[in-house]
Structure 1
Amino acid sequence: MSEFISHIGGLAEAGERMIERLRKKAFLPESRKGLSVRIGIAEVASLLGCSTNRIRMAEEDGRLPSPTPTTNGRRPGYSIEQILHMRKVLGASPARSPMDEPAIIAVQNFKGGVGKSTVTTHLAHYLAVQGYRVLVVDCDSQASTTTLFGFNPHFNITRDETLYPYLSIDPTQEDLRYAVKRTPWPNVDLIPSNLELFDVEYELAAAGADGQSVLTARFRKLKQGLNELARDYDVVLLDPPPALGTISLAVMQAANALLVPLAATTPDFCSTVQFLSMMDQVLQQLLAAGIAIDYSFVRLICSKFDSNDPSHALVRAFMEQTFGPALLPVPILESAEISHAAIRMMSVYELAKPIGTSKTHKRCRANLDEALGQVEQLIRQSWGRVAPASEAEAIYAV
């Protein structure tokens, strides 16, 4: 038996070494991802809801720095940091007001392989492009989201940099600020995870055997810690484990909105139905224990949808009939561009240029913008707002 255990350990170590090789090959020499994406003036104007002429005028009168032309004399694209500055100067920030409650969204499903971490990462980067301040909290010890953000959970992240020191039975941290890490995105921060975060599950399960008071205290503690951190952000995205455990329960209670990704296959559909049934029972028990649960929205989003697969279309029809308006109308399409970006431990929004064909990249990006834009609108609705009007709509409105 020990020989088999040793063999499994060897496989794990070989896998970790390969991940580190891929990471070093994909990232900059300092082993951190850089954000080299640039956005053209036409797309920036669309993001800001103004005309390109308004941007040029602001550059001419000195309110915005004039861009340095490229070597061939062409106008360069703008970095995310430059666009955030432009939003401030031109009054085009979508940030919530101090009276608006930050959106704390759990991206949850107990079925693995539905693209939970991919959805979380792409949603974070989509919201960043739109100008929101985002915090991503990786609550899953498998740490897929941490990896997509450019950290190797095995080599770069210690247990003391995860949620563990805050949630453990013998906590060493009083708030969560110790765990917040900067990312290459100027308006996206991350609380990472690694395998050792699973120790919290063992500790809390053992404590729960002697009574529920410790569990209840940890549920409330995570919510309190996230609420304190959320004051500095517009949106907090939680990526919990794909299983019903103490951390998943704590995340459910800490969130004020729920997004459920599911793939268009019969097993995923059936599993999600079971997840919703189990979640209903758990929430009822939490409410009975005096733990408040209040979601501004609960939505399902179909991920990894292949529009050319008749079986996917059939299962999606089942979803529409079953879930009605709770299912977001635009699915996230299966795309080689998402897969290619994932190999590089990136999201599509981080690609400086297409990996596949330009047509494939544009189609993928347009779909992601539309699908994830649905979530943005739910967030804005929870703040009592609708989509901001463009400059043209404001001028020519009747």
Structure 2
Amino acid sequence: MASQNSIAEQTAIVSQIGDLAQAGEKMIERLRRKAFLPESRKGLNVRFGIAEAAQLLNCSTNRIRMAEEDGRLPPPPAGENGRRLGYTVEQMLHMREVLGASPSRKPMDEPAIIAVQNFKGGVGKSTVTTHLAHYFAVQGYRVLVVDCDSQATTTTLFGFNPHFNITREETLYPYLSIDPTQTDLLYAVKPTPWPNVDLIPSNLELFDVEYELAASGADGQSVLVARFRKLKQGLKDLARNYDVVILDPPPALGTISLAVMQAANALLVPLAATTPDFCSTVQFLSMMDQVLAQLVEAGIPVDYSFVRLICSKFDANDPSHTMVRAIMEQSFGPALLPVPILESAEISHAAMRMMTVYELEKPIGTSRTHKRSKANLDEALSQIAQLVTQGWGRVEPANEEDLLRG
């Protein structure tokens, strides 16, 4: 029978793990600095040509040119070769205001607060969260992303190093802790390179909330209920300034996950097209069914405008993916969104640069791969945008050029 490790050996093991963590954090910071030179800050340099701008604004190119000619809109700057450089995201937002093409919700419309959740890791939860946020941003919506996961992958994808750039006081912790120092969530909101996307970041110290609530003793249940209601109210108050709030909770059943699930008014479940992911998602749904029922019995309301599953990392050339997706369709029916997010090297390459496909100035791989990936993301994520606008009682408007042809 093997003897237990001595205290010295245990100390050495702990020290080794700490050294590995430090080495990894330093490498993340090196990658971040390399990606965001010269100022080590993430920027946004993506531009839209007039044809793409017209498509996004749901109008004709002639209408944009006429607005530029009569002075309502400034033309985009020209490069050294005299060609127009295209419109920035900020210019696109201004164009929407001038041309009456803003999709912002009406004052009486309830902001969409979408939890992107699955207890199975590796399903692309944070990748879906960031791409969904940037898709909504391109469409002109005001977006808030709340990273509720202490692993902070979403925070990293937004260009922040959670170890070096984010303190515990900048996360949800001061608001949710046993001894809170903040009464609302405004303190935690950070701007991002996208003018219409804000972020509440996370880091490893957010997990202290779980420890504190677990150690709250006999009063634990009442403290837990209070935290659930507090997060919901805080997000509801903050959401007044946005059209869409996207929550990225931890991939496990814990205090923060439950608080997020109760605070949301819509649920999006990403899952990959593999048998283990399918089985894990079924277990997640079964667990959520039991937990949400208990929350309702405890007087904690849960109300979702929609619950949808989206297949992520789907490889149409892999027969096993096709088979598992067919199983998903048979099992989940219309709750499974019909267009999956395809596995793409362009998504992986962008993530290496702590970006999404929507932030790339030019293709990283081939132009064909980039176009195919972006077109798929547009189609897949538009399904979620349609659910949001349907909740506001809207129907998709016809394109101006289609009306003319009609």
TM-score (norm 1): 0.99
* Equivalent pair of 2:137/2:196 in contact (CA under 8 Å): yes
Query: Is contact 2:213-2:220 (8 Å) kept?
Result: no
Which residue does 2:129 correspond to in 1? 120
From 160, 168, 171, the counterpart of 2:169: 160
1:32: Cα distance to partner? 1.5
1:387 to 396, 402, 405: 396
Matched, 1:182 2:191: yes
267, 270, 289: which one aligns with 2:276: 267
Code of the residue aligned with 1:144 in structure 2: it is T
> Where do residues 1-398 of structure 1 align in structure 2 (5 Å cutoff)?
1-207=10-216, 209-397=218-406
- Give the counterpart letter for 1:240 in structure 2: P
Q: Deviations over 1:321-350 (max 9, x none)?
A: 000000000000000000000000000000
Per-residue deviation at 1:179? 0.2
Q: Which amino acid aligns with 1:297?
A: F
Distance 2:48 2:311 in 1: 28
Displacement after TM superposition at 1:71 (Å)? 1.2
Q: 1:294, 1:206 → 2: CA distance?
A: 29
Deviation per CA, 1:307-329: give whole Å up to 9, x if none.
11000000000000000000000
Pairwise CA distance, 1:76: 1.6
User: Which digits, 9 at most, give the CA deviation of each residue in 1:21-61, with x for residues without a partner?
Assistant: 00000013332100000111100000000011110000000
- What residue identity is the alignment partner of 1:287? V
- Partners of 1:292 and 1:246 lie apart in 2 by 16
Give the Å deviation of 1:356: 0.1
The verdict on how the C-alpha distance between 1:194 and 1:214 changes in structure 2, with shifts beyond 3 A counting, is same
Cα distance in 1, alignment partners of residues 166 and 85 from structure 2: 36
Overall identity of the aligned pairs, in %: 83
TM-align CA RMSD: 0.9
How far has the Cα of 1:209 moved from its partner? 4.8
Distance 1:230 1:211 in 2: 28
Deviations 1:357-379 (A, max 9, x none): 00000000000000000000000
Query: Deviation of residue 396 (structure 1)?
Result: 4.7
Greater Cα offset, 65-74 or 370-379: 65-74
Any unmatched runs of 5+ in structure 1?
none
* Aligned mates of 1:127, 1:104 — CA distance in 2: 13
| One-letter amino acid of the counterpart of residue 307, structure 1 | A
Q: Secondary structure at the match of 1:95?
A: coil
- Contact kept, 8 Å, 1:208 with 1:214, in 2: the verdict is no
Residues in 2 aligned to 1:223 and 1:177: alpha-carbon distance in whole angstroms:
14
Q: AA paired with 1:200?
A: V
The one-letter code matched in structure 2 to 1:40 is G
Unaligned runs of 5+ in 2: 1-9
Residue aligned with 1:189, SS? strand
Is the contact between residue 257 and residue 298 of structure 1 (CA under 8 Å) also seen in structure 2? yes
Which amino acid is 2:117 matched to? Q
Aligned equivalents of 2:62 and 2:401: distance in 1? 12
Shift of 1:205: 1.5
Answer with 61-70 or 5-14: which moved more.
61-70
Indicate conservation of the 8 Å contact 2:341/2:376, yes or no. yes
What CA distance in whole angstroms lies between the structure 1 residues aligned with 2:189 and 2:121?
A: 26
User: How big is the shift at 1:208?
Assistant: 5.7
Mean Cα deviation higher: 22-31 or 2-11: 22-31
The answer (yes or no) to whether the contact 2:149–2:249 under 8 Å persists in 1 is yes
Asked whether the 8 Å contact 2:77–2:86 carries over to 1, the reply is no
Mapped contact 1:264–1:315 kept (Cα < 8 A): yes
Q: Supply the distance in 2 between the matched residues of 1:140 and 1:389 (Cα, whole angstroms).
A: 39
